[in-house]
Structures are given as C-alpha cells and as structure tokens.
Structure 1
Amino acid sequence: MFVAHYRSKDKEIQSVRKHLLDAQYLAEHYGAKLNVRYMAGLAALLHDLGKYSEHFQLYLSQAVFKQENPKFKKGEVDHATAGAKLLFELYYTKSSSPYEKLLVEIVGNAIISHHGNLHDFISPKHDSDFLRRMTKEVPQYKNVVESFFEEVMTEAEFEDYVGKAVKEMEQFVPFNGKLSFFLSKFIFSCVLDADRTNTRDFEAGVVSNVPPKNKAKFEKYYHVLMDYLKTLKEKPEASHPINILRAKMSDQCDRFAEKPSGVYTLSIPTGGGKTLASLRYALKHAKDKEKDRVIYIVPYTTIIEQNAQEVRDKLGAADDILEHHSNIIDETVWDKKDVGDEFEEGSHTKQQTLKLMKDDFSAPIIFTTMVQFLNIFYAKGNRNTRRLHNLSNAVIIFDEVQKVPLNCVSLFNEAINFLSGQAKSSILLCTATQPALDSVQYRLVKGEDSEIIANLAEVELAFKRVDIIDKTKPKMNNQNLASWLNDNLEGWENALVILNTKRAVKELYETLKDNEVDVFHLSTSMCAAHRKDQLEEIKKRLKEDTPFICVTTALIEAGVDISFKCVVRSLAGLDSIAQAAGRCNRHGEADVRDVYVIDHSEESLGYLKEIEAGKDAAQNVIAYNKRNENNDKLLSHKMMQDYFDAFYKAREVDLNYPISKLNNINMTTLLLKSRHKNYVKDYIAKHQQPYPFILSSSLRTGADHFNVIDSPTQAMIVPYGEGKTIIAELESNERIEDLSRLFKQAQQYTVNVYPHELRNLKNANAIVPHFDGGVWSLRERWYSKQYGIDLAGEGEMEEMIF
C-alpha cells in the first residue's frame, strides 16, 4: 500500500488514494461556492501525486520510524511536482486551448506550492520559478502516474474530469490580471484547506465532512435579536427622539437586507447603535440569501473583544463565535528551520501538531482584524491563504472602514470587488466617517444607491454632541499640556486625552501622576484582558463623577462605548478627530460638550507617515472651516468626503503599495496587471526565447514583500491574570483539541510587539520560547500593571506597589 500519512499515536496508515479522494471531496465543496468545483477538486486530487513514488515511501518510513542512517535527508524528496507536471505534459501543448493553458497555470501553481507560497511566473530577476518546476525531472515519474491511474481513476475518467474543469475556466470572460490573481489564490486556498483538514481529521481519528449549513442558526439568532430590540421599544426612554431615530436606522438596515448581494455603506453617526443595526442586516441577509457565515472585520485587536462580547451576550451564541485576534504562532521561525510542514512526514512534534489546528474560518460568526483580512489575500504563509475560500458566500462587515491602511487602499478595493463580484459575498462598510474609496485609481465598485441611511444630513444634526475647539496654536509639550489639564479639570470633572504615540502617552501619564492627579493609562502594550479591566474601572469612575484624567493612544477611538465630559485630541486625520469626538458626551448627557484639538510638539511621527499625512490634511480643513465660520459642519459626511478626496489625491503615489526594495514597483503592477510587459520583455532578452506562459504575475515575490504595517508584529502571551495559567500549560498540552482551546483563551492575554521590541526582550532574557520559538511568552517581572509590557523590566516592582 502507498502511504500518505502515519497516525502519530498508533502508526495507523492513511493511503495515498484515500487522502487524495478525501481532499478532492472537500476541495470540490469549497470550490463550488465560486462555481469552480472541478478546478479546486483537480488541484486536491493531484497535490500529493508524488507520494506514489517508492522514494517517498522510503523517505516517509525513515521519518516515522526514526531509522538510522537514512537514505534521504529531510526535504530531499519532492512529492509536490508530479501532479502539476502531469497536467502540464497533457494539457500544455501547441494544440491546447487558452483555457486549458490557464487551467494548468492556475491549478498547477496551487499543486507545486501547497507547502509554501504560490510561485512566480516571472521573478524580478526575469526567471520563471513556475517553468523550472514544470520542467523538473521527477524520479520514478512514469511509475507514479501509472499508480495514480490504477488506484485513483482511469485515464478516461481523468480526461473527463479535466474537461469539466476547463468548462469552468471558460466562464471567466473577459479574463484579466485581477481575476487571474484572485482565482489563483482561491484555488490555492481550497487545496490548502482540504489537505490540512483531511490530515488533521485523520490524525484525530474522525471522518472528513463538509461543514453543515448555518441557515437555521442565523434564523434563530435573528429572532433572538428581534426579541431583544422589541424589549427596547417597550422601555420608557424609547420615546426619546434619539432612540426613535436609532430604531428607524435599525429598521432601514432590516429592509436593505432584502436587497441582492452587493457593496453597501452604513454611515450611522457615533452613538447611533451601529453594532446591533449592522448585525440585524447581517443575520437577516445571511438567512434569506443562505450565506455561509457572518464576518466582522475591525481595525484593531483592541476592539474585537468588546464587539464580540456584545454580540455574544445579545444572541447567546457563545459556541458559534470565533475571535481571531492575531496569529499567536510565529511560523517564520519554523520556516527558517525547515520544519514548517514536517507533519506531512508523519513525525508530529508539538510545533507540527500546531500546523494541523483548526484555523480555517469555518465558524458561523467571526471577528477578526483588517490586518488579518489583508494577509489572507496578499501575505505569505499558507495559514493566511487557507482561510480565503471561507470569505466567499458570506456577509462581511467592515467596522470603521476608514482605517484601511493608506498603502493598501487599492489592494483592499480589489479584494472587495472580487468578493462582491465573483465570490457572492455581501459587503457592509460601516463608519460615521466614510472614506472616498470609489475616487481612486483602483476604485471600489458600488451601486448607485448603496447608502443605507436616508437623510444623512438630518441624522448628523440630530446626533450632534460636541463642538470642535481649535487649540493647535501654540503647540504644546507634555509639561504645557499637563498644566493646562490640571487648571481646567475641576470645571470639566473628567477628561480623555488621546495622543498619537505610546511614548508620548506614557510620558504624559508620568507627568500627571507626579502632579498627584487621578490618572489612568491605556495602550496597546497591555493585553486585551488588562485593557478591559482598566476600562471597567474607568466606567465606574465616570458614574461617580470623580475628577480624573485618562491618557491613551488611538485604541479607544473605535468600538469602545465610553463617554467623557471633555476630550483632548492630538492633531491627526479628520476621521481620527471625529472618532475621538465620539467618546465625548456620547449618550447626550449634556446638550453640547467641547472637544479640543491640540498640536503636540513632542510626538515623534517620523515612522508614522500616514498619521503625519492625515495631520497635515486635517490642519488645512480646520483652517478652512475656521476662516469660513463653518466649524459646526467640520465632522459632516460631506466634509469627510472632501477630506478623504484631498487626502488620497495628495498621497496618490502611496495607494498602490510601492515596494521600495524593488525600485518602487507597485504591488498592484506585480500582482494585478494582465501582462507585466517590462518583465516579459526582459525575460525574452535574457533567455533569447519567447515567454512561454499566459500569466506573468510575481505571486511569491508579492507575498514576500507584503506587510500591512512596515514592521510586522509578533504576538506575545503575557503573564496577566489567566495568562499566567495559560503560559504554565503550554508545555503540557500536545493534543490538537487542547492546543486549540489554549490558544483561543490566550487571545485575551497577548500583546503584539514590533521587531525591535522583540529583539530587546530576547537580549534581556525577558521572554520564553515554546515549540522551538513558534510561540513566545513573557517573563512575569517584565509586565507592569501600569504600562503592560515594560521594556525596563520593572513590572514586578510595580505590582508590589499596587
């Protein structure tokens, strides 16, 4: 028997035939959502064809049974090329149709790449990694193919199956670079998930099945939500004009849910009940249109827990909600050690077991971040891409969509256009400050009547809560700011101060603390559970009307339901100022309160180019409104559109993700162009022969150079509260289900650190590696109850003070 896997606990065998057919079954189900059932199934059917070689069988046996003096070294036997080579030899000939060739290029790339990233058709060095793999000599290739046709399907059956896949390929007319990229990623996602899921199920001793439909669950949750909203209408305060307006906007969301799938905007002002209104749309649309899941995309990990908890409480849906904060597992460490996919060889160390964990976005309701969403499409690492097919036939809600990173605007728009146009998903863009995403080169495609809320100008007027006070001149340093806050706090009673950098926040906190002012500190150096505890204490103090100040970064501007009597915002983009204003007089406790905009002289924005650009644009808008005595309309929908139009126009060169290490070529050119003319021309000149393929995108190069933020962060499990117990359990859990539970709990106790912070912590021996450095935890003395991760290593002393 040809063996695909040995189960680690009992050495039970899964045959190659069984694995290929099981993976094909799953991939067909995944692909059907895009009407590419046979294309996805073909990729899965052939992905492990090379395991039919005697070389691989010996290689696998050596790895599992730890034979001495093995004939083959780790990674020496290639089992991923054979399947793609079979397609290439049969369907990439002079007589092959363009659709047969496109099928080979897209499906073949998924097959050869299923242990890494999709290959370049042309690289920046003007070579073709894809061609190299297609023409690579595969030992025992003839025997491998014969075994496949004997065990899995006959040649006639295979020809018929490929013919069905070609028919699916023919539906994509006209075919362009954007479509080829997203279709390649989608097929790749299907084969990755089918392979990983079947391998995991075999290891766990269960049968691989497609997930059940969620229509009944969405029906149930919709009625639960409607019953809750009905109780709100029965309360005495329901007759308040603002609550009547909230109910009307919620009703409008319900009616819009009856419309076909598309891209819609929901511009409910701050305090208008956006979370429940969008949930009402999502549940009704999901049940009526039979969508597979509801996915909330938020800008920061800091607000996942609050939004998810609100939905969980209202629906009673604890078992059906996934909170995906970040990737706790650092796969780059394993990639460097060449152990990332070693589970395929059956040895199943702890880090390889982690690779099999359920990480596929199959839950009915999912909360994740904008970073993770963009990573699914563009980043390297097949844990990211594996989730892509589950974004199809879904309702996807983007909360605070104005936070799309500037350099990713075009890439975001094209991903949304694909999900809406080809992948049958409905998109809801939620924010009180809608960005002008349809005014850029790679524009977002929306319908004419895409805004859900009618009479926006009237709604904005009804929800006016604050006056914006320009206090940008003269500039203030922390000492000036602290003195001004101290002088005015008695009249305000409480104040929220939002600055642009963690360093400025910490230094202001220290200055205010020295002046014996009651002061709270919040930053992303704290884990979610820590911030939640701090916010609960702050809310308690707000009810007591005790004078105090809270200093924080922008983390409080989205998804945090809190209301101060005064807000001070360091100058940033107009959308940030509007979001900050939403934390002042949020529930209309007074007629109008003041939000002050200051210009902080000690914030270092050298590495925060986007904040700096937004600051410049906002300053111009504020000055214009001041000259025209138009300050009451500064945060209007119209003014926000004008601001974003100007902001995007001024930063147009940045919108398409320029790659500085590749002479500023844009990611859009590298991935989404129909034909990379310069690369093709240089390829022909270098090799003195025609370029051999239809597609010319540099998929691996694009993934290698993509980071949503310039310095990608790594999640660190910290010793706060339950985090201490989780860290203690890390080394004692090996079963997949135990690790899945542990990492789900750990999401609340992680902090994302930048590379330089990680280096400093390593050098100070402040962190502990787990699973060969795939997961990191922080030593206890390096976590402070005041600051979170404390690079000074004084956390233990501070805990004693508390």
Structure 2
Amino acid sequence: MTPLAHSARGNIPAQTYCEHISGVIEKTKKNLEAMAPYLAEERQERYKEILYHAAESHDLGKLALENQNVLSGKEQAERLPIEHRDAGVKYLLKDKLECPEATLVYSHHRPGLPDIPDEKSADDPFRFPTAMDDTERHLPAYLQIHAKEMNGFPKTTDKKALRLSTLEYRILLSCLVDADYSDTAGGSLTGAQPRWEERLQQLDRYIQNLQNRTNQNNERNHLRTFLYQTCRNAKTNAAVEYCDSPVGTGKTTAVMAHMLQVAQSHHLRHIFIVLPYTSIISQTVKVLRDAVVLEGENREEIVAEHHHQADFEDIEHRRLATTWTTPIIVTTAVQFFETLASNLPAKLRKLHQLPGSGILFDEYHAALPINLMLPAWKWITKLVDQWSCYICMCSATTVKFWEHPAFQKQSPCQAEPLLPPKGAKDLNNFEQSRIDLHAWHNDVPHFNGASELTAYLKHYHGSKIVVLDTVQSAAYFTKFLCQHGYDVLHLSTALTPEDRERTIAEVQRRLCSKSDYPKEWTLVATSCVECGLDLSFHYGFCQLRSLQSYIQLGGRIRRNCEQDYEDAALIAFTVTEDNFNCNPIFQDSKSVFKKMIFSGEFSGMSVTEAVTEAFRQECMMPGKLSEEICKADRQLRFKTVAKKFRVIDEKTTTVVANPILAEKLRSGKRVSTQEL
C-alpha cells in the first residue's frame, strides 16, 4: 500500500506521503529563495539546512499503521490516533535538548511555539507523551518506509544547535507552515508583479488630476504640493524615517510616493501600510486603489485590505490578503504587531512575506499603548537590521520615542527626518496659525453637567464636533441634545460598520462646501474620529484626555482653511456628571496634558516637541515602560510573549445587531464570515 499524507476530501483525491513531503520541501525552498536577496549569505545557508531537515521529517509519524488506516479510509476517526509530530521531533533531536528544526516540527500545528526554557527542562522535551511509546518501538520502521518513498533517509545534523532569535524562529516557522498548508490545499498563491516605477508614475498622475480639480489657490494647497514633491524626491538610503507633517497636508499619498521610490531603489517585495483603526482603513484602501492600480489590473490583487471587517469579492482575494501576497497590504496595528508577537502557526503563516518589504506606519502615535512599544521597537529594528526592511513612521503628532534611553537600550537605531528642517518648520508654523488651540493659552473650561456644556456650545455658531471619552458618554449627550431640539448626529464604535459608514457619508454630505444644509448642527463622537477621516468642522470640543488626541482632533477643524472658518477653535474641557464617565485608559496621559497646560510648558514649543515631552513625562510613570516582554522574548518564551503582547487587552464579545443574521444564527442556519 502506498503511504498517504492526506486522505481524500470531496473531489480532492488522497495525497501520497511522497507527493506531500516533496511538495513541502519544494515550497519551503521557494519561500526561502524569495527572502534570500535580503539575507546575508551565511544566514541563507543556515536557514536552508534547518528548513530542509524540518520539511523532510515533519510528517514522519503519519507513517504509523494506525494513522495510515485512517488516512486510507479503512477506519473512521475525527483525527489521527497517533500524534504524527513526535516521530520527527525524536529523530531530529537525537540526544539534544533542543534544536531549531525539531522545534519547527513540534510547532507547525497547535499549540505552536512554546516557552523553550520550560520545554527544555521538561522530563521529555518537545515530545508528545501519547505518541512516545509508538515512536520508540516503530521509528526505525518509519524511517525505512520514508527511505523507500523518498529514495533516502531524512537528513539530520550532528552540529551544535544554533542559537536563533525569536524573530528567526517565527519567520522560519512561517516558511514551513505556509509550504505545508499550501501543498495540502493544492497549490501556492502567486501575487501580482510589484511594478513600483509604473505605480509611482500612476500616483503622480492621480495627484496632478487632484490638483487640477482643486480651484483653491491657498497656502494649504501649496503646502500639500510642497510635501508631495519633497517626499517623492527624497533620498532613499535611510532605513528608518519619520514624517511629522501636520494633519490635512496629504501625508498618506506623499509618503506613499516616497515608499514607492524606496521599493524601486531597493527592489522590495511588498509595501505594508499599518493603520491604528479599522474605521480609516477602507478610506485609505480606496485612495490607494484609485491612485496606484494600473490599467487592466484587478484592484484587490494589487492593494489588499486585511482586517477582520474586510469584504472580498471571492475566496481567492481573501487568501491573497490574509497571506500578505499582494504588492501592497493595508492592515491594522493589531493584526501586524500581534502577528509579530504570535506563537501560533496559522497566524504566523504570512510572516515570511515581511523580509525585504517597506513598512509605512501611518498615524503611528496611536498604533500601540506605551507598555507594548519597547518590544515592538525591538522587532521593527530587527526587521531593518537583519531582514532588509525599510520603515517610515507618519504622524501629525510625531513622538521621537526612539531618543528615550529605554528604547536606545533595545536598539541604538535613530529615525531620520523625511522633511528638511525649513520645510518642517514652515508646515508647523502654518499649522499653529490655522486654528485657535485654547489649551495653548491655559483655557480649559469646566462644566457641571450636560446643561452647562450645551449652554457653552450655543455661543459657537456653525458646524461643531464634540468628542467624549466613552461610548456611553457620547450616546448620553447625543440623546440629551436630541431631547432639547438640537440637530445632532452620533458616531462611535458602538455602531455597526454599516451604520458608521452611513453616518460618515451623511457627515461628509453636510460638511461639503457645495451643500445647502444648515450650518448649525453637531456631531457627538468618540476618539474614533480623531485619525485619518477627511472632515472639516468649524469648531471642535473634547473632554480633556491626551495631548496627542487633542492635536489629532484639530485635524478635523478647518482642515481645508475655509475662509469663513477664520475664528475656528479647539477647546478641551472637563465635565462632572454621573452620565459622563471617564475612560481609565486616558488617566495618565490626561494628568500629563493637564500639568503641561497649567504650567505654561507649551509656550514656544512645536507640536513634535510638545508631544515628545508629554511622552517622556508619561514614560516616567510607574509600570509604563516595562521590559518584561522584552526579557521573555530574549529567553525564547514564545507562549508568554504572545499572551502578554495584546494590543486590545480588554475582553470583547462579538455582537450581531442585524436582525436577519441574528435570526439565522438562532435557527442554526449557516452564516458565512463574509455575511458577518
């Protein structure tokens, strides 16, 4: 009987052991070859040996008779009776406590990469107790069968086990897992050609068309043109850069032009755009698809949208996005960083696409909480130093965190400014004159409840945005205004994605310069509106929380330098009433912001200087910059790192609000992920 690796499924025939092992070896080799131009030669040889040995032995235990009976259909079982990884682990380990190829075999299914020190100190390191007896008795027989099918015994090494970093383990496991999954599924995904130079030319045309359609000859548009040309023509030799241009100056397209130049100069594989919120991803994806997709190309095959709410035309486009195979991938900070921190094979599958890529962190100030920034910086700089990645960090509230001693300890890497000093100064001067930032001159009013806040708002005539700390506060104040006859809209993450999109569309309709909608209305929202949304209100109001949030909200006020908004202002306030609750997440940043306001520290400071100083003060608070995760990472404690590195640390529950889908779920009918 010809040994099998996978049983028949539907119209897919059974796959022989020889076919599968040969396929995984070949696909692993291709994954490594795709990374090879971005690796030092000695590391290529090291990885090639590890991956070949792991690929050749990863399914050795499937040759057990009990497993073959299930795979051939002679016996029925939900899973293979003998854990098939144990034989390969035993064979590769020999008398060593650990070696990378054995660890990859152990980890290529759940539970994934373990805490290696704990595993090494176990009675039987990296072994599977339920299969050990079978392995001890039958491993020589499995090796004989393998030799017959593959024309030779699987290879091992007597060399001393290599010491790899956690990132090396994760990326090598990604190569193996992707090869295994792809071969099992019947093929590999091939992404479209990068064509970076042509995409840059297409982006140039897109920007020129935008400028031709814009009749306003104001300073704002001149600065946007200056920023685009400066970024587009900047040198491409710096590996880590930052862009601190103010809100509303077209940073995303300008820095994308620079990243396309970098990708062309260094022959990069992909460009990643990492954003903090799903609410702004779809807008960014639409702009990029309009701007860089060439004639005759499928938009989803060029710019992939990867987050939990993304919709896809078909299953193939979903696979392209979730395996990071397209030339340009737009994803969330949660998805990106939790992949870097993960120990699970399914989540790590796509990670081998990262070496040799450009990574643009847009609105990076909001990407991570402070307590996760140290390990993230360590991984980012490793991607630069060892995996030939190029990084650009973008934010109107740029924090030069890399200058802090704790970050210098993890890596001495320094980010270089993308903008020349004079250009950055001109942009900052313009930004500070665009609207009146009341906090800059110690004006922070206090209100005793919704009635006082409403009375204060009545003094400002025009479109207003009010941002509150929590969903509950925003919902309460929206209801209060409605009950008192005010024209008000509500926007927060409490709304379904569909309802949020409808609300944003209505807000944009009302704010449009050509709209005849009455100017006297209010949007009550949460912090989800602070980044990336192209909105321009006359006045802005927000609960006092963080300096960064305050400055970012300023980007939604007089964004387009409207002449009739010359008295535009942004006011931070405090309010006391049971229905206005505070978000504890903002407690530390709020206290720092409040201290800086009333001590007069903002006088003469640029925005970048102010937010960097606020960051420095917040880092001094107890427990903010813990090295706990970095220490666990150095010790190869994969499970611990994955558990502790959680961008969203709160327990969340998925709620289905659509009554039709809810009824289908109640009745037990199948609901697809696309429907959800």
Report if TM-score (shorter chain) is over 0.5: yes
C-alpha distance in structure 1 between counterparts of 2:579 and 2:646, whole Å = 22
SS at match of 1:434: coil
Whether 2:374 is the aligned partner of 1:441: answer no
Selected match of 1:198 from 183, 191, 200 = 183
C-alpha distance in structure 2 between counterparts of 1:442 and 1:604, whole Å = 40
Alignment check: 8 A CA contact 1:303 1:559 kept: yes
Selected match of 2:640 from 686, 691, 701 = 701
AA paired with 2:236?
Answer: E
CA deviations on 1:599-618 (whole Å, 9 max, x unpaired) are 23358999954311111111
Q: C-alpha displacement at 1:476, in angstroms? A: 4.2
Alignment check: 8 A CA contact 2:399 2:608 kept: no
AA paired with 1:77?
Answer: I
AA paired with 2:166?
Answer: F
Q: C-alpha displacement at 1:144, in angstroms? A: 1.4
- 2:430 counterpart residue number: 462
Query: CA, structure 1 residues 612+532, in 2 after alignment: closer, same or farther (shift >3 Å)?
Result: same
CA deviations on 1:602-647 (whole Å, 9 max, x unpaired) are 589999543111111111111122xx6x55x566211111111111
SS at match of 2:85: coil
C-alpha distance in structure 1 between counterparts of 2:344 and 2:451, whole Å = 46
Alignment check: 8 A CA contact 2:275 2:363 kept: yes
C-alpha distance in structure 2 between counterparts of 1:609 and 1:124, whole Å = 38
- 1:503 counterpart residue number: 472
Alignment check: 8 A CA contact 1:122 1:129 kept: no
Q: C-alpha displacement at 1:221, in angstroms? A: 1.6
Selected match of 1:274 from 251, 255, 261 = 251
Spell out the pairing of 1:324-723 with structure 2 (5 A cutoff). 324-326=306-308, 359-403=322-366, 404-438=368-402, 439-443=404-408, 445=411, 450-455=416-421, 456-464=424-432, 465-470=434-439, 471-485=443-457, 487-488=458-459, 491-543=460-512, 544=516, 545-589=518-562, 590-591=565-566, 593-602=568-577, 608-625=583-600, 630-631=602-603, 633=604, 636-651=607-622, 653-656=623-626, 666-673=628-635, 697-713=636-652, 715=654, 718-719=657-658
CA deviations on 1:467-524 (whole Å, 9 max, x unpaired) are 2224534344333323322x22xx4311001111100000011101101100000011
- 1:119 counterpart residue number: 114
Whether 2:315 is the aligned partner of 1:321: answer no
Query: CA, structure 1 residues 356+82, in 2 after alignment: closer, same or farther (shift >3 Å)?
Result: farther
- 2:283 counterpart residue number: 306
SS at match of 1:81: helix
C-alpha distance in structure 1 between counterparts of 2:132 and 2:448, whole Å = 65
Query: CA, structure 1 residues 510+476, in 2 after alignment: closer, same or farther (shift >3 Å)?
Result: same
Alignment check: 8 A CA contact 1:717 1:776 kept: no
C-alpha distance in structure 1 between counterparts of 2:509 and 2:322, whole Å = 37
SS at match of 2:360: strand
AA paired with 2:208?
Answer: K
Query: CA, structure 1 residues 704+553, in 2 after alignment: closer, same or farther (shift >3 Å)?
Result: same
Selected match of 1:251 from 205, 215, 229 = 229
AA paired with 1:303?
Answer: I
Alignment check: 8 A CA contact 1:119 1:129 kept: no
Q: C-alpha displacement at 1:555, in angstroms? A: 0.5
SS at match of 2:477: helix
SS at match of 1:516: coil
AA paired with 1:574?
Answer: L
C-alpha distance in structure 1 between counterparts of 2:475 and 2:214, whole Å = 43
AA paired with 1:703?
Answer: A
SS at match of 1:654: coil
Alignment check: 8 A CA contact 1:253 1:277 kept: yes
- 2:140 counterpart residue number: 142
Alignment check: 8 A CA contact 1:509 1:520 kept: yes
Deviates more, 1:596-605 or 1:499-508: 596-605
- 2:219 counterpart residue number: 241
Once the two structures are aligned, what percentage of the paired residues are identical? Answer: 22
Alignment check: 8 A CA contact 2:54 2:102 kept: yes
> Gaps (5+ residues) in structure 2?
none
Q: C-alpha displacement at 1:428, in angstroms? A: 0.9
Q: C-alpha displacement at 1:374, in angstroms? A: 1.6
Alignment check: 8 A CA contact 2:490 2:523 kept: yes
C-alpha distance in structure 1 between counterparts of 2:477 and 2:436, whole Å = 25
- 1:296 counterpart residue number: 273
C-alpha distance in structure 2 between counterparts of 1:518 and 1:81, whole Å = 67
C-alpha distance in structure 1 between counterparts of 2:183 and 2:245, whole Å = 43
Q: C-alpha displacement at 1:442, in angstroms? A: 4.0
Q: TM-score, normalised by structure 1?
A: 0.73
Spell out the pairing of 1:720-759 with structure 2 (5 A cutoff). 727=661
CA deviations on 1:40-88 (whole Å, 9 max, x unpaired) are 34323322222122221113235xx7x4xx5x67453111122222111
> Gaps (5+ residues) in structure 1?
94-100, 203-207, 330-352, 658-665, 674-696, 732-765, 779-802
Q: C-alpha displacement at 1:355, in angstroms? A: 12
Aligned residues: 637
Q: TM-score, normalised by structure 2?
A: 0.85
AA paired with 2:637?
Answer: S
Q: C-alpha displacement at 1:149, in angstroms? A: 2.5
CA deviations on 1:277-306 (whole Å, 9 max, x unpaired) are 121112222233221111111111111111
